[in-house]
A and B are shown apart, each in its own frame.
Chain A
Amino acid sequence: MLRGRDSRIFLSLPVCEPWPNACPSCKKFLLKFASVALILFLVAGARGQDMKKLTEPESPSVLYKLDSSGQLVPLESEVVRIKRKFHAWGFSGVTAVYQVEGEKSRVRLKAEGKPEFVVRLEGKVDPLEAVQFYHFDELDGSRVVPIVDFDILNRMSNFQVVHATVDFNAEKYGSSSFKLISVQVLVPGEYCLLIKPTNKSESKSPGFCFGIDAAGN
């Protein structure tokens, strides 16, 4: 290793006095070292921001609200059942509904734009296919979404579920999760995100519910 005033080898470590008393070549070396360190620090910082560790749910198919600090807030976990509501004992037809017990969710969010949710999904699943998002009506101590009407001959007569569907976008979040963002601002009311059952004949699905209160409340 070379050292001394005229050392021109960049990577050698000259024995230098502290800064004010350092010789010109030592000062040059220290400036070079500081400039390279600064550049590396800036580059590493920029890359580190890109790769910031995100908090992901531990369990798959469980939805959380993502708060503004990046923390996952649990939603009300419910079983959403498909029930039949008979009109005039069935003489005027039947409406199939999604139903959740309880008129209001105990998880309350403020009306503040477009809330974000996070879900871990196993496999290469499209979140727009795996998750359904509905605005529920409060009815007789429960929350319901009408899905489809059947006439007296049990023929489908009207799909209602479209009117209660909340459209959302989904983007990758962390290694195996997705962030879901509603497309529209959510108005006050009751909402549930459903995990679509893999078995189509299943009459219940896991639901993750919350209520939106008007900003003043």
Chain B
Amino acid sequence: MKLGFAALAFALSFSTVSLAQKEKAFEPQYASVFYYLRASGEAVELERQIANLVPKGIKTLYVIPGEKSPVRFRAGVEMQFVVRVTEDFDIASTTLQLYRFDSQNGMRQMLFKNEDLRRNKATLKLNAERYGSSSLKVVPTQKLAPGEYCLSRSTIAQGFCFGVDAAENQ
């Protein structure tokens, strides 16, 4: 029976290792959906929005309902986000965008030249590195000042929004 127990122990350790590997790191289930990644590895859902576009001549006004995002983080902390991508990593990383919105009249607004948006020049700077099997870890190059932000990709209509509050407000 000893060998039987040995086989059972082997099989159990095999399945435990497989499960542990599955739980190693959070990776988003859906493509192009951004999550905030806490230092502990826990993922936080962001506010999902599709901005309304208002043409203003050579510029476009992006409008999101609600003056503040319900998802709030504290300023002064290095923030990291994760997004699953389907394209090659080097191509996907050129499509990443982070915009800062102004809160006005119960809405979040952002006005940019169409040309800058087309060339993805209006985004705040981001670093991206490979994360898990099919995702990118996205880190703003500078700590984010208090305000309203949305992450997106130049290829999609969806934005994933959050607010940053001054440290003393938390």
Which residues of A approach B to under 8 Å, CB–CB? 10, 28, 31-32, 35-36, 39-40, 42-43, 46, 124-129, 148, 155-159, 162-163, 165, 167, 169-172, 178, 183
Contact = CB atoms under 8 A, between A and B. Distances in A.
Given A39-B8, A43-B15, A124 B87 contact: yes
B3 A159 contact: no
Contacts of A165: 50, 157
Interface string B127-164: 00000000000000000000000000101111000000
B53 A162 contact: yes
B106 interface: no
Contact of B1 (A28, A125, A183): A28
B3 A10 contact: yes
Given A31-B1, A125-B87, A155-B57, A178 B31 contact: yes
A39 B85 contact: no
Contact of A159 (B15, B33, B53): B53
B50 A157 contact: no
A165 B83 CA distance: 22
Interface residues of B, number: 31
Contacts of B53: 159, 162
A148 B50 CA distance: 16
A98 to B, nearest CB: 15
B156 A128 contact: yes
Nearest to A38: B8
B29 A128 contact: no
B55 A157 contact: yes
B94 interface: no
Nearest to B114: A156
30 contacts: A31-B4, A32-B1, A35-B8, A36-B7, A39-B7, A40-B11, A43-B11, A124-B87, A125-B87, A126-B31, A126-B86, A127-B86, A128-B32, A128-B156, A129-B153, A129-B155, A148-B55, A155-B55, A155-B57, A156-B55, A157-B55, A158-B55, A159-B52, A159-B53, A169-B33, A170-B30, A170-B31, A170-B32, A171-B29, A178-B31
Interface of B: 1, 3-4, 7-8, 11, 14-15, 29-33, 48, 50-55, 57, 85-88, 91, 153, 155-158
Contacts of B15: 43, 46
Contact of B86 (A125, A157, A162): A125
A85 B95 CA distance: 34
Given A167-B50, A171-B30, A129 B156 contact: yes
Contacts of B87: 124-126
A24 to B, nearest CB: 12
Nearest to A179: B30
A167 B11 contact: no
Contacts of A183: 48
A32 B91 CA distance: 54
